[in-house]
Every structure is written in structure tokens, then in C-alpha cells.
């Protein structure tokens, strides 16, 4: 999998690539992230990417031509999708993450200002995706969220057992729907934040009865969309 991100703030992705599981997976070559600066695809002296909206309105709109050049310059792999982030897009879900993880390449269009000239959505991208019903300042955080959720489905990125466990939960008569996590606990069994107050771990988890534990986990977890 190769993630191509086009943004006017490429530096946001530097620390993102230098920590934790993402850093390890990139070093191992399990996937790659290539960040492109939209300003490199401008032609004017000031490298401007935005202009005033036709018809009036507040703020600035990203121009179509730098996006056109940026997107046309990219080498496309066979199974590739170009995603435009917008709060008006289809809401991102775990099922979408599974679909995306089967591709060879995802290209992310990260908007800023009041958004992007609609002709980019109409002619240059495959899908419009939203992270949820709220408005961000830009598409970069959305791109990072999608990279995290897709890349952890790539074998080897987060370690095998967990990956398999999730797949198992997914397959068990759940109509192929994704399975979201049950509550988890670790030591100590009882935590006493102050005298007389005891925060206990559910006793079923300490019972050693694997059948009961599995049942509890299934009940506590949530099937996506419910
Ligand atoms: N004027 C727009 C908001 C633009 S926010 C409106 O009112 O709807 C600027 C950019 O942030 C957008 O172009 C988009 O790329 C990104 N963005 C904002 N909210 C988002 C969301 N919920 N999901 C994905 N991207 C989002």
C-alpha cells in the first residue's frame, strides 16, 4: 500500500511518520507514505493556491488548477483510489477501512480554507469522504485517521494475534460487519483511588472460564453501525 497525501502543510506529516507503529511499519516497508506540497504545483510567483469565491461569501476557496497538476503528476498504481476529504462526503467507517486496505494506493486530497473548487470533486477524484458530522480546519487530520485505520489492517503492522482476533469476530455470524472493541482491563484487579473507594475489574474476566469470557466480550462489544 502506498498513501499519497497532497496538502499545503506537508510538515504536519513528519512527526506522524516518526513515531510508534507507523514508524516501525514504514521502516519494515509494510507500506509507504509520500507527502506532496500542493504549492509545488502552482505557477505564479507567490505560489498561491486560493482565491475569492464566485458569488461572494466568506473566506477563500482552493483553486482547481494546482490540484489538477498535482493529481495528474502522480503515478497511479493498478488498484488506486483518490479520496477528497470534505464534511459533505460519505462517512468513514471500519468497513470502508477494510475495503481501502485491499487497494495498492490511496491518494488523499486535503482541503484547507473554505474548501476546494467543486470541479476537483467533479472531475479528479473517485470518492468524497468525511470523518464525521463536524468541521475540521483541514483534511490533514482526516488523512492521518484514515492512514491509521487502514494501515493497522495490513498484516504485520500491529502484530498478528490482534489482527486475527478482529477478523474472527468479524466473521462470526456478524454478516461481515466490523466489530468494535469491548472494554479492557489490566492489573491491578482492584484500584483504590482513595480510602474506601474500590474500582474493580469485572469478575467474569478473572473467572478463568473462557466460554463465559468470550460471551461477555461479545455482549460488551459493538457491531459497527449499531
Ligand atoms: N466551508 C466548509 C468547511 C471547510 S473546512 C464547510 O462549511 O463545509 C476545510 C477543509 O477541511 C475541507 O476542505 C476538508 O478537506 C477538511 N474537512 C473539514 N471537515 C472535515 C470532515 N468532517 N471530514 C473530512 N475532512 C474535513
Residues in the chain: 226
For 15, 210, 214, 221, the CA distances from 20, given in Å and listed in that order, are: 10, 32, 30, 26
Nearest Cα residue to 100 out of 138, 75, 129, 73: 129
What is the tens place of the pLDDT at every residue in 94-151?
999 999 999 999 999 999 999 999 999 999 999 999 999 999 999 999 999 999 999 9
Residue nearest to ligand 1 atom 15, measured at CA: 111
Is 139 found in the same domain as 200?
no
Is 119 found in the same domain as 38?
yes
Q: How far apart are the CA of 79 and the centre of ligand 1, in A?
A: 26
What is the tens place of the pLDDT at every residue in 34-58?
999 999 999 999 999 999 999 999 9
Band of residue 180 on the pLDDT scale cut at 50, 70, 90 = confident
Residue 169: predicted pLDDT: 53
| Number of domain units in the chain | 2
Whether residue 69 is contained in a domain is answered as: yes
Band of residue 78 on the pLDDT scale cut at 50, 70, 90 = very high
Domain CATH for 22: 3.40.1280.10
What is the tens place of the pLDDT at every residue in 204-222?
999 999 999 999 999 998 8
Band of residue 172 on the pLDDT scale cut at 50, 70, 90 = very low
Whether residue 200 is contained in a domain is answered as: yes
pLDDT exceeds 80 at position 84: yes
Mutate to test the pocket of ligand 1, among 58, 85, 121 (most ligand atoms within 8 A of CB): 85
Is 209 found in the same domain as 141?
no
Is 119 found in the same domain as 74?
yes
Range of the domain at 210: 182-224
Q: Cα(117)–Cα(112) distance, rounded to whole angstroms?
A: 11
Nearest Cα residue to 53 out of 9, 11, 147, 116: 116
Q: Cα(63)–Cα(101) distance, rounded to whole angstroms?
A: 30
Whether residue 168 is contained in a domain is answered as: no
Whether residue 16 is contained in a domain is answered as: yes
Mutate to test the pocket of ligand 1, among 9, 109, 136 (most ligand atoms within 8 A of CB): 136
Strand 80-91 with 50-51, pairing: unpaired
Whether residue 220 is contained in a domain is answered as: yes
Q: How far apart are the CA of 90 and the centre of ligand 1, in A?
A: 12
Q: What is the mean pLDDT of the chain?
A: 92
Residue 223: predicted pLDDT: 73
For residues 184-209, average pLDDT: 97
Task: Out of 132, 151, 170, pick the residue that ends a domain.
Answer: 151
pTM of the predicted structure, to 2 decimals: 0.92
Is 123 found in the same domain as 198?
no
Q: How far apart are the CA of 103 and the centre of ligand 1, in A?
A: 25
Task: Out of 128, 151, 174, pick the residue that ends a domain.
Answer: 151
Task: Out of 131, 151, 171, pick the residue that ends a domain.
Answer: 151
Nearest Cα residue to 124 out of 60, 49, 70: 70
Whether residue 80 is contained in a domain is answered as: yes
Q: Hey, which residues does 90 pair with through a beta bridge?
A: 129
Is 116 found in the same domain as 10?
yes
Is 206 found in the same domain as 129?
no
Is 145 found in the same domain as 212?
no
Is 128 found in the same domain as 219?
no
Is 215 found in the same domain as 110?
no
Ligand 1 neighbours (beta carbon < 6 A)? 85-87, 110-112, 114-116, 130-132, 134-136, 138-139, 142
Whether residue 50 is contained in a domain is answered as: yes
Is 133 found in the same domain as 42?
yes
Whether residue 162 is contained in a domain is answered as: no
Give the number of the atom of ligand 1 that is nearest the alpha carbon of residue 129. Answer: 24
Is 103 found in the same domain as 200?
no
Amino acid at each position: 500500500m502506498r498513501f499519497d497525501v497532497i496538502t499545503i502543510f506537508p510538515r504536519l506529516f513528519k512527526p506522524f511518520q516518526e513515531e510508534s507503529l507507523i514508524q516501525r511499519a514504514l521502516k519494515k516497508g509494510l507500506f509507504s507514505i509520500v507527502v506532496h506540497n500542493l504549492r509545488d504545483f502552482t505557477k505564479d510567483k507567490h505560489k498561491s493556491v486560493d482565491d475569492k469565491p464566485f458569488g461572494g461569501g466568506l473566506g477563500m476557496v482552493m483553486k482547481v488548477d494546482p490540484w489538477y497538476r498535482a493529481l495528474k503528476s502522480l503515478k497511479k498504481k493498478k488498484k488506486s483510489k483518490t479520496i477528497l476529504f470534505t464534511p459533505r462526503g460519505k462517512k468513514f467507517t471500519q468497513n470502508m477501512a477494510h475495503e481501502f486496505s485491499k487497494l495498492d494506493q490511496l491518494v488523499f486530497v486535503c482541503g484547507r480554507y473554505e474548501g476546494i473548487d467543486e470541479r476537483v470533486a467533479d472531475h479528479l477524484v473517485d470518492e468524497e469522504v468525511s470523518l464525521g458530522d463536524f468541521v475540521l480546519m483541514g483534511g490533514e487530520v482526516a488523512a492521518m485517521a484514515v492512514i491509521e485505520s487502514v494501515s493497522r489492517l495490513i498484516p504485520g503492522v500491529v502484530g498478528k494475534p490482534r489482527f486475527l482476533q478482529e477478523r474472527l469476530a468479524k466473521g462470526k455470524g456478524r454478516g461481515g460487519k466490523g466489530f468494535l472493541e469491548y472494554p479492557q482491563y489490566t492489573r491491578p484487579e482492584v484500584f483504590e483511588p482513595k480510602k474506601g473507594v474500590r474500582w474493580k475489574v469485572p469478575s467474569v474476566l478473572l473467572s478463568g472460564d473462557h466460554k463465559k469470557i468470550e460471551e461477555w466480550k461479545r455482549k460488551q462489544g459493538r457491531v459497527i453501525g449499531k
